[in-house]
Structure 1
């Protein structure tokens, strides 16, 4: 990606944090109602190749279904209730497809961070499929390309192979040797760390490697202020009700 970093600093985790059922269009609408112009979500593949939004490998926590989500067809997944687990107000909210999310974001001029969240064993194939779908869905919106991220290097390699023009970021929960080299080998533009990993040293290391700096999941004011003071480029939060996104 060339030019200035285009993305807003404040990013709504899974749509609206914990205020709505995660990874649903209802959550995206609520995040937008709080002023957020960028959302983060998790994308994986159905058994018949539809890219849809879900964090967990299994369905039990956030739907009324059961079993491995990636083993189900989209027809079966589309009939699940992905809202009632959160609260009765969201009962009947369906799972979202990446296509539906793209339409929503484009209609409102919003940005998106798509975390590639493969069913275990499908890392490369999921990276290919998510990037291919994203490239198609945003083909008429080259000024608002999604940021693709993953904890799985194989998924990012698949994304690089099929859609090299889409920006990528490497997610890390622990700081391991060679993280900068890993990010650059995947032609990433950013690294996304657990917020506790950022300090003056890691920020300087990332910047020296030409990488943008993002943090997850930042829900406390003291943590947010520390990251703002470090000059981070992106802060992913559940607390869309606490942090006005224009801050910083």
Structure 2
């Protein structure tokens, strides 16, 4: 098994509960607390710009309405993506992947780029996000870790940027996880901590994979997972589970 170059703690959607998700403010919130890795969601606008958004629509996290797949990026870039969280974040935007890469470089943050395709855009999103990530982080150490719940998107990412590491995401790890991760050439498996147990962690590690567990917001649970062998914890509680809270 190759060594795992990523920190033990990863800030979920950039800033966890401390800032509006998937914004530059979120990335900076994590960095201010000393975190060294952020996770965020990347998808495509109607005009194929890679940008950050979790949902298929812009409604929940902005003052706009509609499906992201039907909006050009210049339309989304004018939306307020911060006020829903707190008035202090008014004017935050949904940033492009390029802006986030620059922010990560400036703040010294490793990146877990979750490829989050809109419906029926799995292959296209995987290909374009991976290609853009490879270009933007061409000299980064460690390189960005690509992940996705979509097998099709991650397969397209593998073909577009074969040198970037990949991790397949699951809510509950299925019985055929060895076949799926092998087909994709994954270095890691990412799973909900609610469905992990010590035996499953041991089997995944024995297969030569690293493990990222999400979204772990209890410090004692995080420490338990690390004792089992989980490599990285993704958390919303970046204030509670600090960058060195899980050092062993």
Which TM-score band (shorter chain)?
A: over 0.9
TM-score, with normalisation over the residues of structure 2?
A: 0.97
Counterpart secondary structure, 1:61 = coil
Aligned to 1:12: 11
The within-5 A match list for 1:148-163 is 148-163=146-161
Is the CA contact (8 Å cut-off) linking 2:202 and 2:228 kept in structure 1?
no
Shift of 1:109: 2.0
CA–CA distance in 2 between the matches of 1:207 and 1:181? Answer: 15
**RMSD value, Cα:** 1.1
The within-5 A match list for 1:63-82 is 63-82=62-81
Shift of 1:132: 0.4
Counterpart secondary structure, 1:44 = strand
Shift of 1:16: 0.9
Aligned to 1:187: 185
CA–CA distance in 2 between the matches of 1:108 and 1:204? Answer: 34
Is the CA contact (8 Å cut-off) linking 2:131 and 2:157 kept in structure 1?
yes
Does residue 223 of structure 1 match 2:221?
A: yes
CA–CA distance in 1 between the matches of 2:243 and 2:25? Answer: 19
CA–CA distance in 1 between the matches of 2:107 and 2:151? Answer: 31
Counterpart secondary structure, 1:58 = coil
In the TM superposition, what whole-angstrom CA distance separates every residue of 1:116-163 from its partner, at most 9, and x where no partner exists?
Answer: 00001100110001000001111132x221000000000000000100
Q: Which runs of 5+ in 1 are unaligned?
A: none
Give the total of aligned pairs. 246
Does residue 96 of structure 1 match 2:95?
A: yes
CA–CA distance in 1 between the matches of 2:17 and 2:36? Answer: 17
Q: Which runs of 5+ in 2 are unaligned?
A: none
CA–CA distance in 2 between the matches of 1:209 and 1:144? Answer: 22
Shift of 1:179: 0.9
CA–CA distance in 2 between the matches of 1:139 and 1:109? Answer: 15
Counterpart secondary structure, 2:63 = coil
Aligned to 2:32: 33
In the TM superposition, what whole-angstrom CA distance separates every residue of 1:148-202 from its partner, at most 9, and x where no partner exists?
Answer: 0000000000000100000000000022120121011100000001002222211
Aligned to 1:239: 237
Is the CA contact (8 Å cut-off) linking 2:28 and 2:107 kept in structure 1?
no
TM-score, with normalisation over the residues of structure 1?
A: 0.97
Deviating beyond 6 angstroms after TM superposition, the runs of 4 or more aligned structure 1 residues are none
Picking from 159, 163, 166, the partner of 1:165 is: 163
